[in-house]
A and B are shown apart, each in its own frame.
Chain A
Amino acid sequence: MRSGSETFVKAAGLVALAGLVVAFPSLASDPFVLSVGVVIISYAVLATAWNFVGGFTGYISLGHAAYSGLGGYATGLLILRADVNPWVALLLGGLVVAVFAVPVGIAALRVRGASFVIVSIALVLVLLLVFQSWESVTGGSDGLRVPRPFDADVLRPEQHQRFFHLHAVLLAVMLLCWWVIDRSRFGMGLKAIREDEDKARSLGVPTVRYKLAAFVVSAFFTALGGGLYALWFGFLDPIFQFSILVGSNMVLMSLLGGVRSLFGPLVGAVVVGYATEFFKAQYGDTQMHLVAMGVLLAVVVLFLPDGIIPAVRGLFVRLRPGQASIREVTQEELAEEVRR
């Protein structure tokens, strides 16, 4: 039913977006702007990774900072203590975190809704305690210095450039994975869980396995995002790595953009990331950036629970004649798809 012109517009938009991402470092002459760009694309990576669980299954994890923090520390520790090549360490770190996520996922996914959120918060808090206390391995509250993956003659701005593109590659891989899952039987099953878990199970969706798979994939990508950030930033502190604020940022960005859309978390990351940097620059010494973030989150939850992308799309659809529904997939369609 999709018309040819719509496909063309989408393809053109995608090419334009990719071009913008590739060209951004050369457009941003100022190293500071460039570093803000790296921060924002790193947010986008984390939010998109979060959306593998939040968007598909509807399980809201406020504690994904656990996986980004673990990814960062795993990468750093592998380089420092085991002398592994940085890029191998990044990948290994991701795998380690994915393995760690299996038992955690089994325990956490036994409960739904509020209890799940509580568990996700508890995970971050307990990891914060552990990484602060276990000084002999993690450096404790003094933090951990992660060595640079590039030679010393690669200067700061050039580092920013390289890391911006590395993040972009990771983001592209994740978006592709999300897109593939979204169109697969697996993705249909996950979305059925989001709509009504009991009905999905009664229709034969292996809910436990599906949820766990999505959870582990999400943890893996989040860990890669955290590891890449650690390599770029070069320093890890438990307070900032295992912070509920980081996890809630991922939720805010995804919700703001729209958890049901492929590019939702990316759009949310650009908006929230820019706003955060702006507020920190303007009111850095006070705690007003917390207030701003809180108000933004409340507004999104109360008035924009589906996010910007669906809201804008809904506006377009309403302006076009002969369209009624703005919902991308109805429950009946999902049930039908799963039954097949």
Chain B
Amino acid sequence: MSLVFQSLVLGVLMGGLYALLAAGLTLYFGVMRVVMIAHSAFLVLAAYLAWTFTVHTGLDPMLSLLVTVPLFFVLGVAVQRLLVARLRPATLTMMSVLLTFAVALVVEGMLGFVFSGTHRRIPLSYSGARLELFGASVALVKLIAFGLAVVTLVGLHVLLKVTRFGQALRATMQHREAARLLGVDTDRVAGFGFGLGLATAAVGGTALALDSTIYPSLHWHWIGPLMAIIVVGGLGSVAGAAVAALLLGVGQNLLQIPLGTTWAQTFFYAALFLTLILRPQGFFGGRLAQRF
């Protein structure tokens, strides 16, 4: 019983991290109808930057966020402006997949070139620390990663709901033409939306690096689960992705008890195929997904 409870707690923590990682994907899809395959490659890039920062300065990897978050925001705007915006509207969705796939290959190749294929891990003084949480034993780094995810997602939520930029972004996501008629500079907003998405990747990658070994081709392991989350959640819906991330994270962790880690991973794909057969528009999402 305690094993199940332990898995449940770990599942919730992991689901929170998944929600953070998938939030960026829903932003890109919302503002540009773009499936950003390179998102997980940028996660790994952020993880490597955090590793480099800690190894060279000896400071806590979370301080690297002060550099990586603004850097990734600018990178995101650049990717949208210089690459994605150049695609023909008629074939945007399909071609954007290939384009961002190309970006992912370039990022992975450069990481391999600069850092070599060696597996790396951030040296942390508190990496072994564990906390008792309602009777479950949880590694401190997992709690920190979850905390980062919660702070970022709440911040994102407030930004989208309260600020003027958030309103413009949501308007652009809902109906681009109508937003433009109301005076929203949708191209600029789309660029910022991309930047925001990539900024979440900076946080997510750092959170990831606290608790796992990193190597250049790691991003392939994340593409599948993240894609499954946004399809199950309904493409383009931040809230839907968060719910789906929690459910899938918990489900995966519970299935690990009888099946083991590798087979438990197939749960994401089972959920993905089941969603497509039963409800192609996703279980928690809006109307966006229907045509894509």
CB-contact partner of A287 in B37, B104, B111, under 8 A: B111
Q: Are A293 and B105 in contact (CB under 8 A)?
A: yes
Closest A residue by C-beta to B99 = A301
Q: In the complex, are the beta carbons of B111 and A294 less than 8 A apart?
A: no
Is the pair B292, A114 in contact by a Cβ cutoff of 8 Å? Answer: yes
Given the contacts A107-B276, A112-B291, A287-B109, A295 and B102 also touching, CB distance less than 8 Å: yes
A-B contact count (CB 8 A): 141
In residues 112-144 of chain A, which contact B (Cβ within 8 Å)? 112-115, 117-119, 121-123, 125-126, 129-130, 132-133
- B105:A117 contact, CB within 8 angstroms: no
What's the Cα separation between A117 and B227 when bound, in Å?
10
The reply to whether the CB of A14 lies closer than 8 angstroms to some CB of chain B is no
Pairwise interchain contact B113-A115, C-beta atoms closer than 8 A: no
Chain B residues lying within 8 Å of A112, measured Cβ to Cβ, are 291-292
B94 on the A face (CB < 8 A): yes
**A214-232 interface code vs B (CB 8 A; 1 in, 0 out):** 0000000000000000000
B164: interface (CB < 8 Å): no
Which of B169-177, B242-250, B261-269 lines the interface with chain A?
B261-269
Contact-residue bracket for chain B: 35 or more
Tell me which of B65-73, B84-92, B142-150 binds A: B84-92
Is B42 located at the chain interface by the 8 A CB criterion? no
Secondary structure class of chain A's binding surface, majority of residues: helix
Select which of A58, A114, A294, A305 is within 8 A of B102 by beta carbon. Answer: A294
Q: Check A294 against B93 for contact (C-beta < 8 Å).
A: no
Instruction: Verify B94–A294 contact, CB threshold 8 A.
Output: no
- Complex interface: chain A residues within 8 A of B202 (CB): none
Contact of B99 among A58, A115, A133, A298 (CB under 8 A): A298
Would A107 and B277 be within 8 Å (CB), given that A112-B292, A113-B291, A302-B99 are in contact?
yes
- CB pair A290–B94 under 8 Å, yes or no, is no
Kindly identify which residue among A118, A119, A129, A293 contacts B265, using a CB–CB cutoff of 8 Å: A129
Q: Which of B53-61, B184-192, B216-224 is near enough to bind chain A?
A: B216-224
B280 touches A110 (CB 8 A): yes
A132 in contact with B272 given A62-B101, A111-B280, A251-B98 (CB within 8 Å): no
Query: How many positions in chain A have a CB within 8 Å of any CB in the partner chain?
Result: 43
B140 is an interface residue with CB less than 8 A from chain A:
no
Bound form: Cα–Cα A209–B276 in Å: 18
A60 adjacent to chain B (CB < 8 Å): yes
| B95 in contact with A291 (CB, 8 Å) | no
B105 touches A302 (CB 8 A): no
Closest to A244 in B: B220
With A and B bound together, what is the CA distance between A96 and B84 in angstroms?
A: 39
Task: Flag if B272 contacts A286 (CB, 8 Å).
Answer: no
Distance from B10 Cβ to chain A, minimum over Cβ atoms (Å): 20
A118 touches B87 (CB 8 A): no
Within 8 A of B (CB), among A265-298: 286-298
Residues of B within 8 A of A125 (CB): 220, 223-224, 269
Q: Which residues of A contact B103 (CB under 8 A)?
A: 294, 298
Bound state CA distance, A251 and B220, in angstroms? 18
Contact partners of B265 in chain A: CB under 8 A: 129
Return chain B residues, CB-CB under 8 Å to A262. Answer: none
Instruction: Name B244-292 residues within 8 Å CB distance of A.
Output: 262-263, 265-266, 268-269, 272-273, 276-277, 280, 289, 291-292
Interface residues of A in 23-42 (CB under 8 A from B): none
**Could you jot down 18 A-B contacts, CB within 8 Å?**
A60-B97, A62-B101, A110-B280, A115-B289, A121-B37, A121-B227, A125-B269, A126-B224, A126-B266, A129-B262, A129-B266, A287-B113, A289-B109, A291-B110, A294-B101, A297-B101, A298-B102, A301-B98
Residues of B within 8 A of A (CB): 29, 33-35, 37, 83, 86-88, 91, 93-99, 101-106, 108-113, 117, 216, 220, 223-224, 227-228, 231, 235, 262-263, 265-266, 268-269, 272-273, 276-277, 280, 289, 291-292
